[in-house]
Structure 1
Amino acid sequence: MSKELTTEQKIMQATQYGLLIYAGQRKIYDEDERLKLEKIANEIGEYWGLEEPVAGYPELFEEITLQGLCRYASEMQYTHGETERERIKEVLDLVYEMKKHWSE
Structure 2
Amino acid sequence: MLKYKIDRNLPTDAVIAENYRMHYLNKLSYIIDQLTSDKRKNVYAYNYFDIGKGYLKNKKFIKALQWAIKTKKTIWAINQYIIDAFSFVSKKGLTKND
TM-score, normalisation: structure 2: 0.36
TM-score, normalisation: structure 1: 0.34
Of structures 1 and 2, the one scoring higher in RCO (CA 8 A, sep 6+) is 1
Q: Which has the higher helix share?
A: 1
Larger Rg: 2
